Amino acid sequence: MRPCRLLPLACSFAVALACTSAPNQPVPEASKSEAVPEASKSQSAPSDSQPLPVPAASQTSAAPAEPGLPPPASKTPTPDPAASQVRWWCACYSRVGPTPATACRQAQVDCQRLEAKARSGGGNSIVPGSLTHACREVAAEHPGDVLGTREQWKPSERPGAWVSFGACLLPGPPDVEKPAAPEPAEPPSILARDKLGDLAIDMPIADVEKQLGRPASRTRPEWSEGTVEFGQTWRYPAKGLELTLTAPSKGGPYTLAGIRATAPCALRTPRGIGLGDAHAAVKAAYLADIDPEEQDADLSIVVGSIYSGIIFTFDAKLEKVTEIFLGAAAE
């Protein structure tokens, strides 16, 4: 039996059993000729005096675990300074006087009520239509901290509100346009205010007949291209009156459109002017209504206009009223 080349402590029990169980098997030639490298022998067959290798993990003592880092501190949000300030709602308008005013309320709805009064409704102390700056939000402990100074403000009649007089303290131009002032109404025609006796322009023909009776003469109705109406003339020579009546159609209804008075007419205007009165008297009575562009030297005075007015005609020598005309002298 060929001796088994087993190194002490290197062969396992299974290898020793294989060597003893096959004593007569020849060793292959290749196995005889192959030499085992010295390096392999030294690496694979340690001597009895060499200790078995110990894993690196077992040779060194376990390093103490590093203490864990503390969890990151939670960040506390920095409060917004503006969020902690008192909120005001302010508007500009005028108090009765009128006096410009700036008022601030803590509630937006209170400011909007004030705005509505200043915009249209007004009140005992608020001028209607005086709103210039609608409600704006202001952040401050006191309105005077950002609008003027605290000395410019005083407590309002409403608890917790402030008001400042003398100017609008809100910045910027007015954001509320003032409504355009209505155009002055055209004064009524002088003919709507004056008449001659009880005869008035636009009087129905039936009323004319009640006052004067039937005329001594009358013309046939004729169409006028200028007035786009039918017209006729009634004459009362005994009364010194010649009347012009017009109608939209030939059959009427006719109304009084013109009055011409000459001697011996005794009728007067509501301001007391009649035939024979002096130029100065007429001028004094109708000075505010005289049209300076329609005067003919001292021979006439036009009150109102030649298209709708009263014309007083004078005698050049005596400067007395010789004729009074009411109506439209020109078309």
**DSSP string for 114-152:** HHHIIIII--SSB-TT---EEEEEEESSSGGGTSS-GGG
Tokens found for residue 15: 């290898």
Backbone angles phi, psi at 154, to 5 degrees: -145, 155
Instruction: Tell me the DSSP string of 11-51.
Output: S-HHHHHHHHH-SSPPPPHHHHHPPPPHHHHHHH---TTSP
- Round to the nearest angstrom and report the end-to-end CA distance of the chain: 163
Q: How far apart are CA 330 and CA 284, in angstroms?
A: 25
Backbone angles phi, psi at 43, to 5 degrees: -80, -40
The CATH topology of domain 189-331 is Pathogenesis-related Protein p14a (3.40.33)
Q: What pLDDT sits at residue 86? A: 85
Q: How far apart are CA 211 and CA 239, in angstroms?
A: 12
Q: Where are the domains of the chain?
A: 87-165, 189-331
DSSP state of 295: -
Q: How far apart are CA 327 and CA 329, in angstroms?
A: 6
* Angle at CA of residue 63, ends 59 and 65, nearest 5°: 150
Q: What pLDDT sits at residue 176? A: 67
Nearest to 156 by CA among 117, 123, 114: 114
Backbone angles phi, psi at 303, to 5 degrees: -105, 120
Q: What is the pLDDT along the chain (331 residues), one digit of tens a residue?
A: 444 444 444 444 444 444 444 444 444 444 444 444 444 444 444 444 444 454 444 444 444 555 555 555 555 555 455 445 789 999 999 988 778 999 999 999 989 988 988 888 666 678 888 899 999 999 999 999 999 999 999 998 777 899 999 999 999 888 866 556 666 666 678 888 899 999 999 999 999 999 999 999 999 999 988 778 999 999 999 999 999 999 999 988 999 999 999 999 999 999 999 999 999 999 999 988 887 766 655 688 999 888 889 999 999 777 899 999 999 887 6
* Bridge partner list, 290: 303
What's this model's pTM, rounded to 2 decimal places? 0.46
